[in-house]
A and B are shown apart, each in its own frame.
Chain A
């Protein structure tokens, strides 16, 4: 590969790398800023999908050997497969454990609404009554 090829590849790589960093940091900020556990999961999902994805693809553009590309895509594949599974396991564990999400809207059905009303006061009081939506 001549020098001619390096510049455009590098440019694409840098843009993707910066994009990945951007989504990682924003996801980290979201993890701090969002009001309750369930909404924080969305922020964590963001860094796992586009943050990690863009970073790894950017690194693939810098690869000097085909095996590096294969390994980067292994990592990407594992992350894409495991992150929703881990997220779902977490969400389900929290939900069955009885942690109630703070909602801006009443839950969709009566059974859930009944579960909701008796515990929402607790949730709010133990976390200092931060309002969940603007």
Chain B
């Protein structure tokens, strides 16, 4: 119920932010279609703690700035390598542990890795990730485990 309410509220806010026409008729139509989508989602059984991770609260917002900084740095590094005539890359597969307890947090970790240029998650199973890294530096940084620790902090102690 909590999750259904969350998805409904998200849908309503997307509608209100995106429509720009605030007449009674339009708002009623919007609310009705949001309700319909919510019901469809419940019927599809995609309404649970995985699809709407409200248990994480606002902690992901604190993680985002760090992630964006990481992404920017990795982008800059990769751009330099791509433009250099020799292209100093050493593609490699590495295995990394994902120490998060919940599936949501592990997926967040895997997605963060993929989002950062230089590393792409190939497989995620039972707390272990198979990652394709483009350079030694990217691989070492991942092995250092700072991202792992930060995503665990997002998960909190729950």
Contact = CB atoms under 8 A, between A and B. Distances in A.
Contacts of B132: 38-39, 41, 91, 101
Interface of B: 14, 17-18, 20, 71-72, 75, 78-79, 82-83, 86-95, 110-112, 114-123, 130, 132, 134
Contacts of A33: 82, 87
Nearest to A70: B17
Interface of A: 22-23, 26-27, 29-30, 33-36, 38-39, 41-43, 45-46, 49-50, 67, 70-71, 74, 80, 83-85, 87-88, 91-92, 95, 101-105, 107-109, 112, 132-134
User: Most chain-A Cβ atoms within 10 A of its Cβ — which of B72, B118, B123, B132?
Assistant: B132
Contacts of B120: 38, 41-42, 45, 87-88, 91
Contacts of A50: 71-72, 75, 117
24 contacts: A30-B82, A38-B132, A39-B89, A39-B134, A42-B117, A45-B120, A49-B117, A50-B75, A67-B17, A67-B18, A70-B17, A74-B18, A85-B111, A87-B114, A91-B114, A92-B122, A95-B122, A95-B123, A102-B91, A103-B91, A107-B92, A108-B93, A132-B89, A134-B89
Contacts of B92: 103-105, 107
Q: Is the interface of B mostly helix, strand, loop or mixed?
A: mixed
Contacts, number: 116
A26 B82 contact: yes
A92 B88 CA distance: 26
A69 B150 CA distance: 30
B82 A38 contact: no
B83 A26 contact: yes
Contacts of A85: 111
Contacts of B90: 104-105, 133
Contact of B91 (A23, A38, A80): A38
Contacts of A132: 89, 91
Contact of A70 (B18, B110, B130): B18
Given A95-B130, A134-B89, 9 more contacts: A67-B18, A70-B18, A74-B17, A74-B18, A84-B111, A85-B111, A91-B132, A134-B87, A134-B88
A29 B84 CA distance: 12
A42 B118 contact: yes
A92 B123 contact: yes
Contacts of A71: 18
B62 to A, nearest CB: 16
A134 B89 CA distance: 7
Nearest to A65: B20
A110 to B, nearest CB: 12
Contacts of B75: 23, 46, 49-50
